[in-house]
Protein backbone atom coordinates (compact mmCIF):
# COMPACT_ATOMS: atom_id res chain seq x y z
CA UNK A 1 0.00 0.00 0.00
CA UNK A 2 2.89 2.37 0.70
CA UNK A 3 4.03 3.49 -2.71
CA UNK A 4 7.16 5.41 -1.88
CA UNK A 5 9.67 6.41 0.76
CA UNK A 6 8.04 9.84 1.05
CA UNK A 7 4.89 8.25 2.47
CA UNK A 8 6.98 6.25 4.92
CA UNK A 9 8.69 9.46 6.10
CA UNK A 10 5.33 11.15 6.52
CA UNK A 11 3.97 8.26 8.57
CA UNK A 12 7.06 8.20 10.75
CA UNK A 13 6.64 11.95 11.25
CA UNK A 14 3.04 11.29 12.33
CA UNK A 15 4.35 8.83 14.94
CA UNK A 16 6.77 11.45 16.26
CA UNK A 17 3.94 13.99 16.51
CA UNK A 18 1.76 11.51 18.39
CA UNK A 19 4.53 10.90 20.91
CA UNK A 20 5.32 14.60 21.30
CA UNK A 21 1.64 15.41 21.91
CA UNK A 22 0.59 12.27 23.77
CA UNK A 23 -1.25 14.19 26.51
CA UNK A 24 -3.38 15.98 23.90
CA UNK A 25 -2.88 14.20 20.58
CA UNK A 26 -5.60 15.92 18.55
CA UNK A 27 -7.62 14.19 15.87
CA UNK A 28 -6.36 11.83 13.20
CA UNK A 29 -7.81 14.15 10.56
CA UNK A 30 -5.63 16.99 11.87
CA UNK A 31 -2.62 14.70 11.97
CA UNK A 32 -3.21 13.52 8.40
CA UNK A 33 -3.42 17.13 7.22
CA UNK A 34 -0.27 18.05 9.11
CA UNK A 35 1.78 15.29 7.50
CA UNK A 36 0.17 15.69 4.07
CA UNK A 37 -1.59 12.35 3.70
CA UNK A 38 -5.19 11.28 3.38
CA UNK A 39 -6.67 9.81 6.53
CA UNK A 40 -7.04 6.42 4.89
CA UNK A 41 -3.43 6.32 3.68
CA UNK A 42 -2.19 7.44 7.08
CA UNK A 43 -4.15 4.75 8.95
CA UNK A 44 -3.25 1.97 6.53
CA UNK A 45 0.40 2.98 6.34
CA UNK A 46 0.73 3.31 10.10
CA UNK A 47 -0.71 -0.16 10.60
CA UNK A 48 1.58 -1.56 7.92
CA UNK A 49 4.75 0.02 9.36
CA UNK A 50 4.08 -0.22 13.09
CA UNK A 51 1.79 -3.24 13.22
CA UNK A 52 -1.28 -1.68 14.79
CA UNK A 53 -3.64 1.24 15.02
CA UNK A 54 -2.84 4.73 16.24
CA UNK A 55 -4.98 4.16 19.30
CA UNK A 56 -3.13 0.99 20.28
CA UNK A 57 0.24 2.57 19.64
CA UNK A 58 -0.59 5.67 21.70
CA UNK A 59 -2.07 3.62 24.54
CA UNK A 60 0.97 1.32 24.68
CA UNK A 61 3.36 4.27 24.53
CA UNK A 62 1.56 6.11 27.34
CA UNK A 63 1.54 3.05 29.58
CA UNK A 64 5.22 2.30 29.00
CA UNK A 65 6.13 5.93 29.68
CA UNK A 66 3.99 5.86 32.83
CA UNK A 67 5.71 2.66 33.96
CA UNK A 68 9.13 4.28 33.56
CA UNK A 69 7.99 7.35 35.53
CA UNK A 70 6.59 5.15 38.30
CA UNK A 71 9.77 3.11 38.43
CA UNK A 72 11.80 6.29 38.81
CA UNK A 73 9.98 7.08 42.05
CA UNK A 74 10.05 10.81 41.24
CA UNK A 75 6.35 11.27 40.49
CA UNK A 76 3.14 10.26 42.19
CA UNK A 77 0.26 8.59 40.40
CA UNK A 78 -1.72 11.82 40.01
CA UNK A 79 1.23 13.63 38.41
CA UNK A 80 1.89 10.81 35.99
CA UNK A 81 -1.75 10.52 34.96
CA UNK A 82 -1.89 14.23 34.18
CA UNK A 83 1.42 14.11 32.27
CA UNK A 84 0.10 11.49 29.89
CA UNK A 85 -3.32 13.02 29.38
CA UNK A 86 -5.69 11.51 31.93
CA UNK A 87 -8.03 13.91 33.71
CA UNK A 88 -8.22 11.86 36.90
CA UNK A 89 -5.94 9.39 38.62
CA UNK A 90 -8.72 6.80 38.69
CA UNK A 91 -8.94 6.82 34.87
CA UNK A 92 -5.18 6.49 34.65
CA UNK A 93 -5.05 3.66 37.20
CA UNK A 94 -7.78 1.74 35.37
CA UNK A 95 -5.92 2.08 32.07
CA UNK A 96 -2.59 1.20 33.68
CA UNK A 97 -4.06 -1.92 35.27
CA UNK A 98 -5.46 -2.94 31.91
CA UNK A 99 -2.05 -2.75 30.26
CA UNK A 100 0.54 -3.41 32.93
CA UNK A 101 -1.51 -5.78 35.13
CA UNK A 102 -0.80 -4.28 38.49
CA UNK A 103 -1.90 -1.26 40.45
CA UNK A 104 0.13 1.88 39.71
CA UNK A 105 0.03 3.08 43.31
CA UNK A 106 1.47 -0.23 44.51
CA UNK A 107 4.44 0.21 42.17
CA UNK A 108 5.02 3.74 43.41
CA UNK A 109 4.82 2.62 47.04
CA UNK A 110 7.15 -0.33 46.40
CA UNK A 111 9.74 1.93 44.76
CA UNK A 112 9.44 4.35 47.67
CA UNK A 113 9.82 1.53 50.19
CA UNK A 114 12.94 0.20 48.45
CA UNK A 115 14.49 3.68 48.46
CA UNK A 116 13.68 4.07 52.15
CA UNK A 117 15.28 0.71 52.99
CA UNK A 118 18.39 1.54 50.97
CA UNK A 119 18.67 4.91 52.69
CA UNK A 120 18.33 3.23 56.08
CA UNK A 121 20.97 0.60 55.28
CA UNK A 122 23.49 2.72 53.40
CA UNK A 123 22.65 6.34 54.18
CA UNK A 124 22.10 8.93 51.43
CA UNK A 125 23.11 7.47 48.09
CA UNK A 126 25.16 9.73 45.85
CA UNK A 127 26.63 8.87 42.53
CA UNK A 128 29.32 10.51 40.52
CA UNK A 129 28.96 10.32 36.78
CA UNK A 130 31.78 11.08 34.44
Structure confidence by residue, pLDDT tens digits, 15-33? 999 999 999 989 999 999 9
Q: In this structure, which CATH number among 3.40.605.10, 1.10.3720.10, 1.10.10.60, 3.65.10.10 belongs to the domain 57-122?
A: 1.10.10.60
H helix runs in the chain, sequence order? 5-20, 28-35, 39-50, 54-72, 77-83, 89-100, 104-122
For the chain, the structural domain boundaries read 5-52, 57-122
pLDDT digits (tens, 9 = 90+) for 50-82: 999 999 999 989 988 988 888 888 988 889 999
Q: pTM to 2 decimals? A: 0.69
Contact 83, 92 (CB under 8 A): no
Q: What is the pLDDT of residue 130?
A: 45
Amino acid sequence: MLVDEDNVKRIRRAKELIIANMAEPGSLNELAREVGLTLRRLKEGFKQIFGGSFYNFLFDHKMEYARRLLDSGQYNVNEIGLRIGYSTSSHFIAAFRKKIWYHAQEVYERVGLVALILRYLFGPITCCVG
